[in-house]
Structure 1
Amino acid sequence: MNRFGEEIKRLIFSFTKNWTVTEDLTQEVFVSVYLHLEGFREESQIKTWVYRIAINKSKDYLRSWAYRKMVITDSFTQEKDYLNEQPDILLVKNLENQQLFEQVMKLPLKYREVIILFYLKELSIEEVSEMLQLNTSTVKTRLKRGRDKLKNSFIVEGGNHDGIKA
């Protein structure tokens, strides 16, 4: 937990976009790691294995009834009050490139996850491929399409897209 805790928390937040759920899922991930540590076959790095568990827990949550119910409820009651947000969320929102972060978070999950793992987590295409259980060509395609979507969203909204490599 000391080694990967914050990274896993940020990764899960990139899926859920909800800090409370992120905290709960992070705990579930590390409980699962602890309970299944003896089953780790060392076919990959421990980091890859822990990330895979976190990604699976996040995807399971996004498929759950609790998430769909929350999305429906939030769409009716959502108000942005940045003054009451937790310091961790404020830190993320104060990143140098706030606009890029927001656009990445708007991407469909299949593009968002490869962009975050490749650029933010600085994993290789092979590592992303292993974590998401996808072919490397699929990862490359999703990276390209994700970058294209980001580039187009910046052009449409009149933003600067110089930092995005297409």
Structure 2
Amino acid sequence: MSRERGGSGLNVVHGLKDKDEAALQALMGQYGDYLLRTAFLLLKDLQSAEEAVQDTFVTAFHKIGQLREEEQLKSWLTRIVINRCRMRQRTWGWRNLLPFARMEDHVEEHHPDPELQVMQRWRNERLSDAVHRLDYIYREAITLYYYNELSIREIASHTGANENTIKARLTRGRLQLRKLLEEGGGYEP
């Protein structure tokens, strides 16, 4: 039954272990958007996020043998992309001086009412801007918890921090977000 439930994921893992490039393409199709959204929210730069995701897939292809439980593929990929983002954050500080592409420009939203679509886009941009203004440790916790819907335990596992540290980062990050959004005025939660 578990093989049936995660069938395509398990087949991808077997294909990767056999160094099948079609399996790598399937992996990219299945997790590419998820990893790109995660990396973009962490790095604030679309090009750097794309590079981090590409590095993640290359690492996964070469180190698939290190995956202990095939059902944990998504979690394993998340951990790799977080590490790639941290590495880029440390080594490419000059990126923040340049204007960055906005993820909102690359994500299609489907709202039947044009007015609702404009309001939703405005709220998303304001929230995205506020998240990007957080320090990395808070941005990481907020992104993984709210956007990737990981539990505190999963975030702690992925980041190597303890659960109380993650809780504190989420609390401080939320307080900073509230302050940033209130300073900007006109935000309707």
Displacement of 1:105 after TM fit? 1.2
Identity percentage over the alignment?
A: 31
Q: Which residue of 2 aligns with 1:126?
A: 153
Q: Structure 2 unaligned runs (5+)? A: 1-27, 108-119
Write the letter of the residue equivalent to 1:90: D
Q: Which residue of 2 aligns with 1:35?
A: 62
The range that moved more, 42-51 or 109-118, is 42-51
Q: Which has the larger radius of gyration?
A: 2
Displacement of 1:15 after TM fit? 2.2
The structure in which a higher percent of residues are helix is 2
Distance 1:139 1:15 in 2: 15
Contact 2:130 2:180 in 1 (8 A): yes
Task: Give the structure-2-normalised TM-score.
Answer: 0.70
Distance 2:155 2:132 in 1: 18
Residue 29 of structure 2 aligns to a residue in which SS? coil
Contact 2:42 2:143 in 1 (8 A): no
Contact 2:104 2:125 in 1 (8 A): no
Distance 2:49 2:93 in 1: 16
Distance 1:68 1:101 in 2: 20
Q: Which residue of 2 aligns with 1:68?
A: 93
Q: Which residue of 1 aligns with 2:135?
A: 108
Displacement of 1:121 after TM fit? 0.9
Count of aligned pairs: 150
Q: Where do residues 12-161 of structure 1 align in structure 2 (5 Å cutoff)? A: 12-42=39-69, 45-64=72-91, 67-72=92-97, 74=98, 78=99, 89-92=104-107, 94=121, 96-160=123-187
Q: Which residue of 1 aligns with 2:33?
A: 6
Contact 1:114 1:142 in 2 (8 A): yes
Distance 1:40 1:90 in 2: 34
Distance 1:44 1:105 in 2: 32
Task: Give the structure-1-normalised TM-score.
Answer: 0.79
Displacement of 1:159 after TM fit? 3.5
Q: Structure 1 unaligned runs (5+)? A: none
Deviations 1:28-61 (A, max 9, x none): 1101001000121229822111111001111111
Contact 1:51 1:131 in 2 (8 A): yes
The range that moved more, 139-148 or 36-45, is 36-45
Contact 1:62 1:68 in 2 (8 A): yes
